[in-house]
Amino acid sequence: MELLKCCRILQRIENSIICRKRFHIERKCLNKLEAFKERLESGPQFDDFLREDAINEINKHLTKSEKSGNIAYIAKRSSIAPYIDKRVLDGKQRTVCIETYGCQMNVNDTEIAAKILRDYNYQIVNEVKDANIILLMTCAIREGAEHKIWQRLKYLRSMKQSANNVLKQVGVLGCMAERLKTKLIEKDKLVDIVAGPDSYRDLPKLLAINNLNAVNAVNVLLSMDETYADIVPTVTCDTNEENYLIESPERKLQTAKKAYVSIMRGCDNMCSYCIVPFTRGKERSRDLQSIVNEVKLLTKAGIKEITLLGQNVNSYRCLSDTQQKEEINSHNEYKLSSDGFRTVYKQKIGGLRFDTLLDSVAKVDEEVRFRFTSPHPKDFPSSVLHVINNHRNVCKLVHLPAQSGSNVILEQMRRGYTIEAYLDLVKKMRETIPNVGFSSDFICGYCGETEAQHEQTLDLIDKVKYNYIFVFPYSMREKTHAFHRHVDDVPKDVKNRRVKEVAEVFRRNALKLNEALLGTHQLVLVEGLSKRSNDHFVGRNDLNTKVIFPNVKVKDRTKSSLNDERNVAPGDYVVVEVHKCTSETLTGVPLFITRLADFQVN
């Protein structure tokens, strides 16, 4: 018995020694494992290997000066673009704020750029203070617009240099980017990336090149075929629930119920004063079906007004691939058309025209209004006028840019028409489209413009009686025909005085047009609450005139019970009886909510 007890004690002692040894061994292994984990965490990650590969790939395409950061990386047609793994292009939810300057095309470009960046995991924000990256969508049409951008860039540089600011990168996009190119990079080192109108797809790569190599990145190459036709910038769709949503917080389309659809890019007109052909390139049109598909998505998402956009929107022509190849490098010629309008380029033959496109989109949803801008007077055949007249949901305000009332100035501008031809077109439109309205563009103080020629412009405005105009003093732009051939010899104070006189004549006539609407019923598409008061709503009628009315409950005639009342909401069509007016706005009382088609029929 004693021997058995001794054996058991010895066994327990041996087991205890083994356990202690095992414990020490295991503890030593755990310590080594923890040390290895610490080394692993502090060492290079998988992203670092990706980053290193990306830097090496980029460096293959950079010169010594570009690698050192002394000069910017500039994309060239002759060189192969550096490949960067898509995982390196991931934005990792970095925040981007895009500020938009200029025309409606720039608004649409902003949405395209935002969509591309969202697809690469960037987060779009509205406030500059929340942004890691700020991009300016710029305009180069006038000198004043560019001056504003330079001032803004200086302010952003000071923000970026602030120690407690989240801003890391600043970029310039759009027309000014193409026009000034490396000057934006070199002048006071204000910008990290520059992307022209045809290079928004390259934004993630440009941001990555700048972020990885600390080298400025530029792509301002113009394209012969880029239309961004496959990018729907404002709509997402949950395919499981078929739920279409507006996704552009920077445009707040959820409230306005409006959207822009770009149908073409570039311009071939080569007007003497205009820089657009040099900043946006040759005219090319989107495939018609891609436009119709985008319109369908927008209508399903609740959009109630769509504006078709293009530099010369009514010269839209959807050509086949074969036809497009035949048009490339075609010789320019200046020829007079039978209706009194002429072009400086060889007109394309065949293809689907603007009348077909306008008719197609108008048929998508009769409760959605359609507008288009900016057209050229030379591209208004009778077929387009009949489409406008035949569709209730195609608005009857026609933008008809005149630029000047003088034939001499129009010839210098290379507009391709005379005032007589222009007025004949106005007459034809009034005969074809009852209650048609007009808006226009005017330039005051163009090279060599005399007082007599300015008076002819005032006379034109008196004859046509526009509902709206946009008027600006002339601003000389580099690269344009005027820059090389004409002299900007009208003093600045004279230009400004002429702008005021044009505006005064316009307002006098616009007031008379609006006074003629007193007592009438106007169909108003509600945009939202008035900026001045939450007690009033604001919307626009068919002729795009702003209409203000009280925020009260009204009868909803879209329901089966005509006595149902409810509050008005953005996107509603409301019939308003006009009681007061100015040259710019109508004020009235809301009568009832209705459908667009029902009001037109009644």
Q: Is the pLDDT of residue 533 over 90?
A: no
What pLDDT score was predicted for residue 84?
73
Residue 326 clears pLDDT 50, i.e. is over it: no
pLDDT at 307 over 90: yes
- Separation between Cα atoms, residue 169 and residue 132, nearest integer Å: 7
Rounded Cα–Cα distance for residues 291 and 294 (Å): 5
Q: Is the pLDDT of residue 458 over 90?
A: yes
Per cent of the chain over pLDDT 90 is: 54
- Across 175-189, 208-222, 312-326, least confident range: 312-326
CB-based contact 530:568 (threshold 8 Å) = no
Query: What percentage of residues in the chain have a pLDDT greater than 70?
Result: 78
Would the pLDDT of 254 be above 50?
no
State residue 400's pLDDT score. 97
Q: What is the DSSP letter of 403?
A: B
User: What's the confidence (pLDDT) of residue 52?
Assistant: 54
pLDDT band at 465 (very low <50, low <70, confident <90, very high): very high
What pLDDT is recorded for position 336? Answer: 40
- What's the whole-model pTM score? 0.82
Indicate the range of 8-12, 128-132, 167-171, 448-452 predicted with least confidence: 8-12
3-state DSSP assignment of residue 12 = helix
Mean pLDDT of 82-94: 81
pLDDT greater than 50 at residue 278 = yes
pLDDT at 281 over 80: yes
Beta strands in 374-515 (DSSP E): 397-399, 437-444, 468-473
pLDDT at position 134 is: 95
Confidence of residue 209 (pLDDT cuts 50, 70, 90): confident
Per-domain residue ranges of the chain: 86-219, 250-318+336-516, 520-598
Bigger pLDDT: 330 vs 11: 11
pLDDT recorded at residue 250: 42
**Which pLDDT score, from 0 to 100, does residue 23 have?**
56
Can you give the pLDDT at residue 55? 56
Strands 284-285 and 335-336: unpaired
Out of 193-202, 223-232, 574-583, the most confident range is 574-583
Question: Which tops the pLDDT comparison, 30 or 382?
Answer: 382
Q: Which residue has the higher pLDDT, 24 or 187?
A: 187
pLDDT at 212: 78
Lowest mean pLDDT among 226-235, 302-311, 362-371, 396-405: 226-235
Q: What is the CA radius of gyration of the chain?
A: 31
pLDDT number for residue 139: 85
Identical fold at 86-219 and 520-598? Answer: no
**The pLDDT of residue 163:** 66
Helix or strand or coil: residue 317? strand
Tell me the pLDDT band of 184, cut-offs 50, 70 and 90. Answer: confident
pLDDT per position as a tens digit, 509-532: 999 999 999 999 999 999 999 988
Answer yes or no: is pLDDT of 213 > 80: no
The better pLDDT of the pair 29, 467 is held by 467
Residue 28 confidence (pLDDT): 67
91 touches 123 (CB < 8 A): yes
Spell 429-448 as b/e; 16+ CB within 10 A means b: beeebeebbbbbebbbbbbe
Confidence (pLDDT) at 165 = 78
Whether residue 41 has pLDDT greater than 70: no
- Does 16 score more than 90 pLDDT? no
250-318+336-516 maps to CATH 3.40.50.720: no
Supply the pLDDT for residue 65: 54
The set of residues, in sequence order, having a beta carbon less than 8 Å from that of 287 and lying 6+ positions away, is: 227, 229, 318
| CATH of region 520-598, choose from 3.50.50.60, 2.40.50.140, 3.40.50.720, 1.10.275.10 | 2.40.50.140
Quick one: pLDDT band at residue 79, thresholds 50, 70, 90?
low
pLDDT at 1: 59
Phi-psi region of 423 (alpha: psi -120 to 50; beta: other; left: phi over 0): alpha
Average pLDDT of the chain to the nearest whole number: 84
Residue 331 has pLDDT above 60, yes or no: no
- C-beta of residue 137 within 8 angstroms of C-beta of residue 102: yes
The answer on pLDDT for 392 being more than 90 is: yes
Q: Which option is the CATH number for 86-219: 3.30.200.20, 3.40.50.12160, 1.10.490.10, 3.30.1490.20?
A: 3.40.50.12160
pLDDT of residue 157: 87
pLDDT tens figures, 567-585: 999 999 999 999 999 999 9
**pLDDT per position as a tens digit, 406-450:** 999 999 999 999 999 999 999 999 999 999 999 999 999 999 999
**Distance set, CA 143 to CA 189, 215, 403, 420, 478 (Å):** 21, 29, 18, 32, 10
The pLDDT value given to residue 562: 66
Q: What is the pLDDT of residues 6-15, one digit of tens each?
A: 666 666 666 6
> Residue 54's pLDDT is what?
54
